[in-house]
């Protein structure tokens, strides 16, 4: 068939590095050896990351109206713009508020 002769471009291999031992792997985060045997180093690494962040977790947001008064919120342990949540369907945002997975993002004072 004619489509069997078409050459497809080669796909890039996606690889990530473990932040502790710098070993390559196919998923983000810590490798198996580090997550199993190097708990203290992981704790130190996460403390260093926390120092670099400009915002910290606040309390849960309890209503959709409070979301509109914010510029940034924590969602899934990440800082998100409120525009991201506003673009979602209202019922989805309501369920996330009821499930207590949206938090205030409080600016750290330096």
pLDDT tens for 45-100 read 989 988 898 998 899 999 999 998 999 999 888 899 999 988 999 999 999 999 99
DSSP state of 52: H
The SS3 call for residue 61 is: coil
pTM of this structure: 0.65
104 burial via Cβ count (<10 Å: 0-12, 13-18, 19+)? middle
Site of tokens 């510029």: 71
Domain residue spans of the chain: 14-52, 54-110
8 A C-beta contact, residue 18 and residue 34: yes
CA 40 to chain centre: 22
Find the angle CA(107)-CA(94)-CA(69) to the nearest 5 degrees. 35
Condensed to tens digits (0 to 9), the pLDDT of residues 2-54 reads 666 777 677 677 788 999 999 988 888 888 898 899 999 999 998 998 889 89
């Amino acid at each position: 068939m004619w489509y069997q002769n078409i050459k497809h471009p080669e796909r890039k291999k996606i690889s990530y590095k473990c932040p502790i031992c710098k070993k390559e792997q196919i998923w983000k985060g810590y490798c198996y050896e580090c997550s199993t045997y190097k708990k203290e180093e992981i704790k130190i690494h996460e403390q260093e990351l926390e120092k670099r962040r400009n915002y910290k977790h606040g309390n849960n947001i309890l209503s959709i109206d409070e979301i509109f008064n914010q510029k940034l919120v924590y969602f899934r342990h990440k800082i998100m713009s409120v525009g991201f949540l506003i673009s979602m369907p209202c019922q989805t945002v309501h369920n996330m508020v009821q499930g207590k997975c949206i938090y205030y993002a409080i600016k750290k004072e330096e």
